[in-house]
């Protein structure tokens, strides 16, 4: 996808040299970039003529309750008005904010430092169109616990087309055999599995051109900081605990895959 001729608004809680550098990169590639810094009272007036919002978060944003409240309000506005947004932040912020507001992980995230190749991919994801009504997205569940995988399938099968494999290598083989016109739209991946664990599977997926762009969301019982940090460099598209409810999982997946009608 060409990253040019887009009308982009950069959102910031405070001025940032890093954010300004990102703004310059976008402008230099032929986009029209405007910034809003800490005053979001007139945000609604930008919706009509903006293609994409990029929210550049400060470090330790999860420790500022006022900024969290503002961020949640803005995310809700974006969703209500079907606006496209990328969030730029740190892995720790992604993890901590996800604990207080699950909706934050449904947006496309970029971790600092931002490379142009990663930015292009993020924009491509964010600008992807909404699926037409009645067309089911396809989800692959990768979990060595078949009983839990079947429970998740029951939860989401009315909205999504669902496949299950019980090992990491099975997942790779399954994806490689799919025809070009029937690919998986998202993978729900367990963390702890024998032989090849979840992080290793994600690394293999990211290193293959056929599978590198498939969104991968961990659905796991492993929630300690060390384990989460291990996979951040591989940039998963979400990290959910198996303690999540059916309602929360469905909401997350619908937001992630931008399904407007069910």
Sheet holding 108-111, edge to edge: 32-37, 7-12, 52-56, 85-89, 108-111
pLDDT at residue 128 greater than cutoff 70: no
- Residue 132 placed within a domain: no
In a domain, 13, yes or no: yes
Helix axis angle, 198-206 to 168-177, nearest 10°: 30
Class of residue 194 by CB neighbours under 10 A (exposed 0-12, middle 13-18, buried 19+): exposed
Mean pLDDT in residue range 124-134: 59
pLDDT of residue 98: 75
Range scoring the smallest mean pLDDT among 66-70, 117-121, 165-169, 257-261: 257-261
The CATH number of whichever domain residue 98 belongs to comes to 3.40.50.2300
Residue 176 pLDDT > 70, yes or no? yes
Residue 133 forms part of a structural domain? no
Q: Are residues 17 and 110 in the same domain?
A: yes
- 131 lies in some domain: no
pLDDT tier, 259 (very low <50, low <70, confident <90, very high otherwise): low
Is residue 139 scored above 90 in pLDDT? Answer: yes
Q: What is the pLDDT of residue 246?
A: 94
Q: Residue range 92-113: average pLDDT?
A: 77
Q: Kindly state whether residues 81 and 150 are assigned to the same domain.
A: no
Q: Are residues 73 and 155 in the same domain?
A: no
Q: What tokens were used for 176?
A: 């490689």
If asked whether residues 12 and 115 sit together in one domain, one would say yes
Do 15 and 78 fall within a single domain?
A: yes
- Shared-domain flag, residues 148 and 68: no
Do 142 and 114 lie in a common domain? no
Q: Which of 94, 126, 158 is the last residue of a domain?
A: 126
Based on the fold, state whether residues 59 and 113 are members of the same structural domain: yes
Residues above pLDDT 70, as percent of the chain: 91
- Is residue 262 in some structural domain? no
Question: By residue range, what is the domain housing residue 154?
Answer: 138-256
pLDDT of residue 79 exceeding 60:
yes
| Residue 86 lies inside a defined structural domain of this protein | yes
- Mean pLDDT of all residues in the chain? 86
Q: Are residues 150 and 214 in the same domain?
A: yes
Average pLDDT estimate for 176-196: 86
CA 240 – CA 218 distance, rounded (Å): 6
Does residue 102 register a pLDDT over 50? Answer: yes
Count of structural domains within the chain? 2
pLDDT at 218 over 90: yes
pTM above 0.85, yes or no: no
- Chain centroid to CA 42: 26
pLDDT value at 149 more than 90: yes
Q: How confident is the model at residue 249 (pLDDT cuts 50, 70, 90)?
A: very high
Instruction: Judge whether 1 lies within some domain.
Output: no
Position 121 scores a pLDDT of 77
Of 98, 126, 154, which one is at a domain's C-terminal end? 126
102 belongs to a structural domain: yes
Same structural domain, 64 and 117: yes
What is the pLDDT at residue 135?
A: 59
- The pLDDT of residue 82: 82
Residues 121 and 155 in one domain: no
* Separation of alpha carbons 2 and 83, rounded Å: 20
Select from 126, 152, 185 the last residue of a domain.
Answer: 126
Look at residue 132 and tell me whether its pLDDT is greater than 50.
Answer: no
Stretch 26-46: mean pLDDT, rounded? 91
Q: How many CA atoms lie within 13 A of 259 on its CB side?
A: 19
Query: Between 204 and 3, where is the model more confident?
Result: 204
Instruction: Check whether residue 58 and residue 153 sit in a common domain.
Output: no
């Amino acid at each position: 996808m060409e990253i040019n001729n887009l009308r982009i608004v950069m959102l910031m809680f405070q001025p940032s040299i890093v954010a300004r550098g990102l703004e310059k990169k976008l402008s230099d590639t032929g986009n029209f970039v405007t910034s809003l810094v800490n005053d979001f009272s007139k945000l609604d007036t930008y919706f009509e003529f903006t293609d994409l919002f990029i929210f550049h978060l400060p470090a330790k944003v999860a420790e500022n309750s006022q900024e969290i409240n503002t961020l949640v309000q803005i995310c809700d506005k974006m969703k209500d008005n079907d606006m496209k947004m990328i969030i730029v932040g740190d892995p720790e912020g992604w993890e901590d904010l996800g604990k207080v507001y699950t909706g934050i992980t449904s947006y496309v995230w970029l971790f600092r430092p931002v490379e142009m190749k990663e930015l292009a991919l993020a924009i491509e994801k964010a600008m992807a169109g909404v699926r037409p009504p009645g067309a089911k997205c396809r989800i692959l569940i990768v979990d060595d616990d078949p009983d839990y995988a079947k429970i998740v399938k029951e939860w989401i099968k009315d909205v999504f087309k669902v496949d299950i494999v019980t090992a990491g290598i099975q997942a790779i083989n399954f994806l490689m055999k799919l025809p070009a016109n029937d690919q998986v739209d998202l993978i729900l991946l367990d963390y702890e599995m024998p032989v090849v664990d979840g992080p290793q599977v994600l690394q293999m997926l990211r290193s293959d051109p056929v599978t590198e762009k498939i969104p991968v969301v961990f659905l796991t019982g492993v929630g300690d900081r060390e384990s989460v940090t291990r996979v951040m460099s591989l940039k998963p598209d979400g990290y959910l605990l198996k303690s999540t409810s059916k309602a929360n999982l469905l909401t997350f997946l619908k937001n992630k895959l931008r399904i407007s009608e069910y």
